[in-house]
Amino acid sequence: MLVEQIYTGCLAQGAYYVESNGEAVIIDPLRETQPYLDKAESRRAKIKYVLETHFHADFVSGHVDLAKASGAQIVFGPNAETSYEAYIAQDGEELKVGDVTIQVLHTPGHTMESTTYLLKDENGKDYALFSGDTLFIGDVGRPDLAAKSELTQEQLAGHLFDSLRNKIMPLADDVLVYPAHGAGSACGKNMSKETFDTLGHQKETNYALRADMTREEFVKEVTNGLTPPPSYFPLNVQMNKQGYANIADVLEKGLQALNPEAFEAAANETGALVLDTRKPEDFAKGFIPNAVNIGIDGNFAPWVGTLIPDIKQQILLVTEEGREEEVVTRLARVGYDYTIGYLQGGFNAWQAAGKETDAIASISPQEFEQRYKRDGNLKVVDVRKPSEYQSEHVETASNAPLDYLNDYLAEIPKDQQVYLHCAGGYRSMIAASILKARGYDNLVNVQEGFKGISGTSVPRTAFVCPSTLK
């Protein structure tokens, strides 16, 4: 028996490869399926099942493409309804894979079709639990991400309480827990950085598994402090239920190399969004007017989903050379399938062609300190989350969280120089690019963000531990 976790850090997502005696299953695969096919082929195993723990909201799973390419059967648990061929397993049903067995445990709560898969080894001993978004390491799944549900989040949390108490907690302490997500995912509130654990340790440390916890306490703690989910979540659920374009076709369309003239013509004729995925510091020095910067090396997918509300938006890419396929793939992972090409030769080619460019002034924290000393009335806009801002901020700064930047435009003057910062410089450059595209010309980005400012004498509010904020 082989069990392998295939963890993708940018999505904080865990897919799984399980193999026994020439047969394999893939659990919660990512959109690009070739790595799973290569893995099985290299081990001379046949993929028998593609198991889905639920309809994922934060990424488009590769189950449909993988089943077509491998001949495997897609399996969901009870309550799942799909527009493509899939096997809907019953609660308690057992699936044979080589010499091992996978038992289906229906565990509604995160969503009503949520299912956990219990792996039993060759001797029939419970070995591992693929818990999807039902149980994370240190947390449980949010009960409010269903695209459509007649149940309230409190009712879903009640189902989750029952699922955990009746289906999961009775299992032995040495059973391994393999969740679908880790820290950084929006599917839970406070997940651990660890990507697997024993069930026994979770019973000791996970707040949601306290032995003496009442249903009322569970519902209150699980639903308390939930922030609105990203707007692309229901759209990803819809794609996972109804199917989607083949990833090969998405890549072929997105990887059309366009010289500067063709790129410019495509932008003008289609109204496509120009998305520049270079590093913030490179973007600041020069970019195509009206381009939006979301750096590929940051929290890319969630910010794309948050800031580009139309999942069918046509996109033209400016990337670092050689990273075009990576960017198109990562966009497709969260359902953005309408990339129509990229700038061949990158921004350097655009400059060499003599095309119009724009730039954003960017200064060091020390330069910001000097300017602040000369003028304590600088207009400073902090684009971090409200909780970060409330914890500590520049005394005169106002807060305009990047997620909701459009709601704050009336508070950001166009006729005054505006200094933008976030925590480290990634989000503030995104904000600067969006504001630039909306006609703000007097912007100054503070490099290194609040981390850099903290090392200067710029006056700041007293620090409040974020965990004590309500």
Model confidence over 50-89: pLDDT tens digits? 999 999 999 999 999 999 999 999 999 999 999 999 999 9
Question: Positive or negative, the Cα torsion across 124, 126, 127, 129?
Answer: positive
Model confidence over 116-159: pLDDT tens digits? 999 999 999 999 999 999 999 999 999 977 656 688 889 999 99
User: Residue 412 carries which side chain, given as an amino acid letter?
Assistant: I
Q: What is the mean pLDDT of residues 253-270?
A: 97
pLDDT at 470: 47
pLDDT mean across residues, the chain:
94
> Per CATH, is 362-468 categorized as 3.40.250.10?
yes
Q: What is the mean pLDDT of residues 14-28?
A: 98
Quote the CA–CA distance of 110 and 132 in Å, as a whole number: 9
Model confidence over 284-306: pLDDT tens digits? 999 999 999 999 998 898 899 88
> Per CATH, is 245-353 categorized as 3.40.250.10?
yes
Model confidence over 93-120: pLDDT tens digits? 999 999 999 999 999 999 999 999 999 9
pLDDT at 10: 84
pLDDT at 77: 97
Q: Does 362-468 match 245-353 at the fold level? A: yes
Q: Which CATH superfamily is domain 2-235 in?
A: Ribonuclease Z/Hydroxyacylglutathione hydrolase-like (3.60.15.10)
Reported as a pLDDT band with limits 50, 70 and 90, residue 467 is: low
Q: pTM for this structure?
A: 0.90
**Residue percentage of the chain with pLDDT more than 70:** 98
133: left (phi over 0), alpha (psi -120 to 50) or beta: alpha
Going from N- to C-terminal start, the domains of the chain cover: 2-235, 245-353, 362-468
Quote the CA–CA distance of 26 and 4 in Å, as a whole number: 10
